[in-house]
């Protein structure tokens, strides 16, 4: 008799975005003349940089000629892209990562979700609360948790991120083996200093733990002294895996290209407590289950690192951050406490009331859509997330409406 994986039955249906869509459509029906402005979007809204489009076109043409056609490529990604990544994203910032420690993939979502597969089922997992839900659900699927109770899964250590700790998780006092960190954070928008990351690296070294570091939003960091990579911190190579993505950096959410870094010294342990290197294990997993990112897409990603590409990406990010500044200014004027918005496209606002109530009131009074924080975990239940992924004009009009309604 074929049986299902019983752990899938523990998963909670995610109603967040379908609930939001249902409430918007209900509102639109009742208020056909009100234009909706969506500040709940977690997706790029600007077109791909021109340099990426040019490189993609050229690569597509190459595929149309027998002489330059390419079939299966290396599962880990083409050297032309891995070498650019190593040079620009790591060496240029003093972090030593070699091209063969970089695994090009079709998304940080897949990689943060899949990485746990090469770790033992008994692994004790720690996640921040609020959290990007992929970290939790993939461990539920793997059977590492108990049932869902009072908003949380049993056997997961949740690290609250609240106003009291500046939305930065405290070191867990429970025994943990695997720690998920995300900076700049989704949803809180907080960035980490080198000191903060050092604290986690020391903890992982002392406790024989592993850090999965999600840096999908590093391109939004505006303070050059803040680390963009965990490998800017000494000692991280042994204890951290890093996930990066071209999705938010260069608008590749629909184009799909990302990468995962597994340094050669990065270790876990076997049942006798002897170290085992993760690089060969991930290489095995990646090349068994994945057949590489499309050649034209990798050429487009490579173009991000060209002189023109760098300028164009910076201009797009600067525009998003102008939106973030506009939102922050309005929140300051209205007296709301918030995190994020300085090195992140997300602004995490303390709504001082139930997040769904605030969502409903905001929609009713202004036609502006936010994301209720409850969708990211119990610690988000009185917060909302505002997103800078939109045009400046829309953001400005949304802020004017909010000021009129709530000011």
Which positions lie near ligand PLP, rule CB under 6 A? 42, 107-109, 132, 182, 186, 214, 216, 245, 247, 253, 258
Which residues have a Cβ under 8 Å from the Cβ of 195 and sit 6 or more positions away? none
Nearest to 379 by CA among 134, 136, 129, 180: 129
**Minimum CB distance to ligand PLP smaller for 90 or for 259:** 259
Question: In what helix (H) or strand (E) does residue 38 lie, and over which residues does it extend?
Answer: strand 37-38
CB of 263 to ligand PLP, least distance (A): 20
Q: Which is nearer to ligand PLP, 259 or 338 (CB)?
A: 259
- Of 295 and 346, nearer to ligand PLP (C-beta) is 346
Q: Are strands 210-214 and 240-245 parallel, antiparallel or unpaired?
A: parallel
C-alpha 350/C-alpha 373 separation (Å) is: 9
Rounded to the nearest whole angstrom, what is the least distance from the CB of residue 209 to ligand PLP in the complex?
A: 20
Among 13, 45, 339, 350, CA closest to 186: 339
Question: By C-beta, is 253 or 287 nearer to ligand PLP?
Answer: 253
Q: What is the smallest separation between the CB atom of 3 and ligand PLP, expressed in angstroms?
A: 30
Of 42 and 73, nearer to ligand PLP (C-beta) is: 42
User: What is the token pair recorded at 347?
Assistant: 């602004």
Q: Which is nearer to ligand PLP, 184 or 309 (CB)?
A: 184
Which CB, 228 or 401, lies closer to ligand PLP? 228
Q: Count CA within 13 A, CB hemisphere, residue 353.
A: 7
Our CB check for ligand PLP shows the closer of 44 and 142 to be 44
| Residue 105 β-bridge partners | 258
| Residue nearest ligand PLP, CB atom distance | 107
The CB-of-78 to ligand PLP minimum distance in angstroms stands at: 18
Least distance (Å) from ligand PLP to the CB of residue 43? 7
| Dist. CA 156–CA 74, nearest whole Å | 36
Q: Which 8-state DSSP code applies to residue 75? A: T
| Residue 231 neighbours by CB under 8 Å, 6+ apart | 90, 95, 96, 97, 237, 240, 242, 261, 263
Closest contact distance (angstroms) between CB of 135 and ligand PLP is 9
Among candidate residues 151, 132, 265, the one with its CA nearest the CA of residue 204: 265
> Whole-number minimum distance, CB 108 to ligand PLP, in Å?
4
Beta strand residue intervals within 271-381, DSSP E: 275-277, 338-340, 346-350, 368-369, 371-372
> Smallest distance, Å, CB 331 to ligand PLP?
21
């Amino acid at each position: 008799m074929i049986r299902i994986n019983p752990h899938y039955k523990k998963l909670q249906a995610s109603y967040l975005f379908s609930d939001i869509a249902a409430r918007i459509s209900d509102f639109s029906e009742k208020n056909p003349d009100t234009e909706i402005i969506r500040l709940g979007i977690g997706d790029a809204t600007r077109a791909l940089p021109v340099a990426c489009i040019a490189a993609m076109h050229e690569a597509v043409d190459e595929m149309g000629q027998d002489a330059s056609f390419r079939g299966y490529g290396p599962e880990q990604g083409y050297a032309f892209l891995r070498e650019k990544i190593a040079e620009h994203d790591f060496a240029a910032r003093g972090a030593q990562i070699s091209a063969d420690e970089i695994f090009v993939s079709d998304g940080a979502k897949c990689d943060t979700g899949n990485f746990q597969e090469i770790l033992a089922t008994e692994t004790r997992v720690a996640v921040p609360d609020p959290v990007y839900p992929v970290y939790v659900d993939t461990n539920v699927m793997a059977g590492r948790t108990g049932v869902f109770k009072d908003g949380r899964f049993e056997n997961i250590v949740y690290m609250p991120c609240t106003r009291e700790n500046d939305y930065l998780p405290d070191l867990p006092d429970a025994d943990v083996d695997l720690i998920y960190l995300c900076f700049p954070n989704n949803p809180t928008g907080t960035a980490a200093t080198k000191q903060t990351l050092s604290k986690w690296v020391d903890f992982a070294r002392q406790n024989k733990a592993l850090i999965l570091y999600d840096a999908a939003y590093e391109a939004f960091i505006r303070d050059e002294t803040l680390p963009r990579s965990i490998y800017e911190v000494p000692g991280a190579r042994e204890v951290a895996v890093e996930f990066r993505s071209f999705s938010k950096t260069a608008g590749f959410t629909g184009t799909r290209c990302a990468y995962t870094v597994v340094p050669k010294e990065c270790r876990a342990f076997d049942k006798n407590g002897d170290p085992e290197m993760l690089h060969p294990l991930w290489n095995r997993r990646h090349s068994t289950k994945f057949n590489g990112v499309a050649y034209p897409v990798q050429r487009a990603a490579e173009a991000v690192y060209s002189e023109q590409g760098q300028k164009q990406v910076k201009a797009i990010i600067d525009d998003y951050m102008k939106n973030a500044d506009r939102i922050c200014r309005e929140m300051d004027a209205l007296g709301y406490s918030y995190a994020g918005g300085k090195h992140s496209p997300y602004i995490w606002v303390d709504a001082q009331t139930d997040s769904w109530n605030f969502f409903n009131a905001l929609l009713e009074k202004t036609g502006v859509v936010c994301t209720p924080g409850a969708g990211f975990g119990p610690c988000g239940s009185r917060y909302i997330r505002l997103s800078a992924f939109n045009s400046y004009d829309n953001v400005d009009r949304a802020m004017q409406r909010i000021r009129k309604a709530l000011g």
